[in-house]
Structures are given as C-alpha cells and as structure tokens.
Amino acid sequence: NVSSLILVKHTSALTLKVLGVIKDWLAILVSAAAFNTPVQPMQWVGYTLALFGVVAYSRYKRVQTQPSTEKESLLAVPVDDDHDDHNYVSANDTSEVESLSPSPIA
C-alpha cells in the first residue's frame, strides 16, 4: 500500500491502474504457462483490447509531456519542393497560406 501511495504521488491514479492491468496480464500468462490453465479465445480478445488501450494511453502521455516544438515536429508534413527530402512544414505554419492570399484592392 505504501508503494501505491508513492506511485500515485509521483504519477497519477491512472498510471496505478495501468500497472495493475499489466500485473494481471503477467499473472494470467504465468498461470497459463506454468499450470496449463485454459484461457478462452474471448479472454484473449479482452486482454488484447486492454493491451491496445495501454499502448494508446502510453503514446498519448508521451506526446502530452513533450515540449510544443517536439509536438509540432511530430505533425510536420514533408513538402515536395525540388525533391529535397529535408523540407518540412509544420501543421501550424500559416505563412505560406498568408502569402497566397490576394492582396487588398486599394
């Protein structure tokens, strides 16, 4: 219980729940391998869905904890300009859109 409190203090309650799910998977896998406990196909489907949820949560948290410049680089879209592989435009970059807009008539 003390370790759970320390974990929640430094992370979040959701992280504690995710670790609990991982602990359950390990118990199930060890039980199935060591004691030949049968695992039904529907149970495997449930475990797989839970695994995808943990992976999705981990990716979301990783993106949320990155500085905004790194987030923007994840959203960068390659620009095919003279076939140069090093030209990228950020998804939030509006400078090219502004340069294409018509100038006001005086």
Strand partners, 12: none
φ/ψ (deg, to 5) at 101: -75, 145
DSSP track, 13-32: HHHHHHHHHHHHHHHHHHHH
Q: Is 90 helix (H, G, I), strand (E, B) or coil?
A: coil
Q: Report pTM.
A: 0.47
- State yes or no: pLDDT of 47 exceeds 90: no
Angle between the 41-65 and 13-35 helix axes, to the nearest 10 degrees? 150
Q: d(Cα 95, Cα 84) in Å, to the nearest integer?
A: 20
Q: What average pLDDT does the segment 5-18 reach?
A: 84
Confidence of residue 5 (pLDDT cuts 50, 70, 90): confident
